[in-house]
Chain A
Amino acid sequence: MNDRYVVRVEKMEQVTPTIKAFTLSSNTATLEQFGAGAHLTLHLPMGNRQYSLINNPLDMKNEYKIAVKNLGSEQGGSRYLHEQLEVGDIIEVSGPDNYFPVHLEAQHYLFFAAGIGITPFLSMMSYLSTLGKTFELHYAAPHVENCPFHEEITNKYSKQAYVYLGSREEKRKKLKEALRNRKVGTHVYMCGPKSFMEMLNDSTKELHFPQRVVHEERFRPALVIRDPKPFCVSVNGKDLVFVKENESLLERLRNEGYSIPYACRMGICGSCEVTLCEGEVLHSDSFLTEQEKKSKMLSCVSRGVGDIAIDVEQDGSEK
């Protein structure tokens, strides 16, 4: 996966009054393949922003396409993209990465989108169409003018797409209805504002959908600790260890003679896990679950805030 590289803005299209689509490409580099549901990270002056790729992964001609809604805020990335960017400009990106992959074992797909949440489904629908798999899109928007890709979707997927405009209550009723009487092998994918996702999640639970076939974006990207601070660690209730700002807890512990195993030193393999007994931790891994973060930390990337207490294995076995 590419760390950081540059692409050129080839094309910009106004999709709705507030949504623009951008085509990004490169003359010099071969852009990497991506899967349906993948996103690209844009490195903008105001920080990193992630946008779903909307082209068909099986028909990728060295270009990435994204759609961006102008959220309008003064310092916002979306406003920058809408108002500052021009065709021919160069922007720095990384990825693509995929937190929302399509599971090919599904027999039928139910997509639920609200507003700009439609974007990951554009690549999913064209991908699955190419594979000849069946899906339905249930798409809610305030009104037609504010319904990104409405025309394209209703033309291309006239049989599969259901668009819900109307009142909030009515939409909820219809979306819930769409979940009823589903057969085994159905997978649900959803993307939209929080309240929309919560409503759908509740409905899938009421209807006893196995939660493993209900998908939203899988993992949040790991938090990067920008200016690491020193912290103090009590180990196994006896030793006191001081971790400087320019070293990791893992490095310090190993230097102190604790044989903590490690591998990736990037917070993804879980090898360097230690037990958290007390204190606040800035977790910076993409491995532990939210539940696990309460009692564990990965010493290669995560850091204490002030004082913390941890337990580490004594026998040094690296199994």
Chain B
Amino acid sequence: MKEGLEKYRHVLVITDKKHEEKALRMQRELQNRGKSVQLEVMASLDVLIGKELVSNQPIGRGLIIFGEGTLGIERVAVSAGYSRDDIFIDSSQESRAFCSQCHHITIIGSDESFICENCLQQLEPSEHYSTYHRASLAYPVFKETDGKG
């Protein structure tokens, strides 16, 4: 079970259809530990429906989100008054890299340098991670020709 979930007695799990399997597994695991779980499955994650759901939760609940595009629901949850560490995101999500030159977010498969889809800069992801963007900052890599030698 995810670290930090131990303290909640009730948990709301939101998932898109594609990740339902995973969410169900999480639900069973939590239930085995004596927690009550409300599971909500949407065709795809929808901010308006998500907002309705999260803002009407009783106080003190944990929130787990699975699926593509968790960020929208995460932000409405923070606006609805969740503490940021009451929100848990599926950790197996793909890595997102925030281009420091043009702000575009590229989905990357590894920690190696990559080309920004938008501005075509060669970038290198870093440890600097934003939970607000759910992305790590990618710095430009200078090409050899930029050097003076």
Contacts and interface: CB of A to CB of B under 8 A. Distances in A.
A226 interface: no
A105 B81 contact: yes
B59 to A, nearest CB: 5
A186 B86 contact: no
Interface string A221-264: 00000000000000000000000000000000000000000000
A210 B60 contact: yes
Classify the interface of chain A: helix, strand, loop or mixed. loop
Interface stretch (A159-167, A176-184, A297-305): A176-184
B110 interface: no
Nearest to B8: A208
A209 B80 CA distance: 15
A91 interface: no
Given A184-B54, A208-B9, A210-B86, A107 B59 contact: no
Contacts of B147: none
B83 A212 contact: yes
Interface string B34-63: 000000000000000000001111111100
B86 A181 contact: no
A213 interface: yes
Contacts of B55: 107, 183-185
Contact of B58 (A107, A181, A213): A181
Interface of B: 9, 54-61, 80-83, 86
27 contacts: A105-B81, A106-B81, A107-B55, A107-B80, A182-B59, A183-B55, A183-B56, A183-B59, A184-B57, A184-B61, A184-B80, A184-B82, A185-B80, A185-B81, A185-B82, A186-B59, A186-B81, A187-B81, A207-B59, A208-B9, A208-B59, A209-B60, A210-B59, A210-B60, A210-B86, A212-B83, A213-B83
